[in-house]
Structure 1
Amino acid sequence: MKKLYFLLGIISFFTLCIVSSCKTTKETVSISEDEKAAFQQKEGDTITIADDSTEYEIIIIEPGFNFWLQSIAKPRNFYSQSYMENRNQVFVTNYNQRVAQPMRFNPSLYEQQINYEPHTDYGYEVNYKLYNYFIYFQRKYNQRLGPFVPRI
């Protein structure tokens, strides 16, 4: 019986050592002064996200987003459309899950579900602005809508 306790003590000691050495690092997002200025704007921007070649449209009313999009975001054609579609699908799924849980997530941040179908071609412009809105949203409100850090 003493051997069993001793063996359990050794196993628990090594488990404790392994667990304590496996520290998770949370990556922090650095925000520039220009980006902080965009986040602090109070006047409402209304951005219509549409593509002339498609019939899809999204309207975003968010103070500072238009300024952020024009001055901070990566330029058009930096990301491929398929890259943004893949990210947008993850962002929309997580965003819509949070909309459905108003007791768990702030309902003033997650107000309305987004109808984004993965097999619909919304065009480059819609995907570009939606992707950048999600990056803006995550950085401004310190949210994570996916497994990756929202970077510019």
Structure 2
Amino acid sequence: MKTVISLLFIFMVIVGCNSTKNVVTTDTVSKISDTVKIANEELEYEVIIIDPGFSSWIAGRALPRGYYSEAYLENKNQFYVAEWNNRVAQPMQYDSNLYLFRIDYDLTIRYGYEVNYLIYNYFIYFQNRYNQRLGGFVPKQ
């Protein structure tokens, strides 16, 4: 049923990042079919990735945790999020079925390795699956 349904809540929603804490305590990661949800109640954020195939892709094709440093993932995510939000703001130029929601990625918050790992890998998955380039080199994983 077209990409709109498969990309409903396409990426993630980071909600309520009203804190500038530099330490992430406990993240709750849950997987329900093709939905990956990461939540941290203390920092009041939630990341939801709903895209058919992402869970199996990350389990079988993504590079393992620890391959990239957290600093590398944060830097790449800053770049990808900026380009993603630029495309959300220009629905006449970019496919609005692919870029549905703005991503609130606060550079002052340390989300931790797991959050950055999943966000980064979603960007890689998204670019490869939908033949999109958010800029720079995209590894074929």
Query: Fold-level match, TM-score > 0.5?
Result: yes
- Whichever residue aligns with residue 108 of structure 1, its letter is N
Tell me the TM-score normalised to structure 1 length.
0.66
Are positions 1:111 and 2:75 aligned together? no
State whether residues 48 and 59 of structure 1, in contact with CA within 8 Å, keep that contact through their aligned partners in structure 2.
Answer: yes
State whether residues 47 and 66 of structure 1, in contact with CA within 8 Å, keep that contact through their aligned partners in structure 2.
Answer: yes
User: Structure 1 pair 80/50, CA: closer, same or farther in 2 (3 Å)?
Assistant: farther
- Whichever residue aligns with residue 141 of structure 1, its letter is Y
Are positions 1:90 and 2:79 aligned together? yes
Corresponding residue number in structure 2 for 1:145? 134
State whether residues 124 and 138 of structure 2, in contact with CA within 8 Å, keep that contact through their aligned partners in structure 1.
Answer: no
Runs of 4 or more above 6 Å deviation:
none
Report % sequence identity.
55
Larger-gyration structure (1/2): 1
Corresponding residue number in structure 1 for 2:53? 64
Cα-Cα RMSD: 1.8
| Residue pairs, 1:20-59, within 5 angstroms | 45-50=34-39, 55-59=44-48
1:132 to 114, 121, 124: 121
Partner Cα separation in structure 1 for residue 115 and residue 109 of structure 2: 12
Which consecutive residues of structure 2, in runs of 5 or more, have no partner in the other structure? 1-32
- Could you say which structure has the higher strand fraction? 2
Deviations 1:50-89 (A, max 9, x none): 4698653200110000000001001111111000000000
How far the C-alpha of 1:147 sits from its partner, in A, is 1.8
Which consecutive residues of structure 1, in runs of 5 or more, have no partner in the other structure? 1-43
Deviations 1:103-136 (A, max 9, x none): 1000010000000012210011100000000000
- Could you say which structure has the higher helix fraction? 1
State whether residues 138 and 150 of structure 1, in contact with CA within 8 Å, keep that contact through their aligned partners in structure 2.
Answer: no
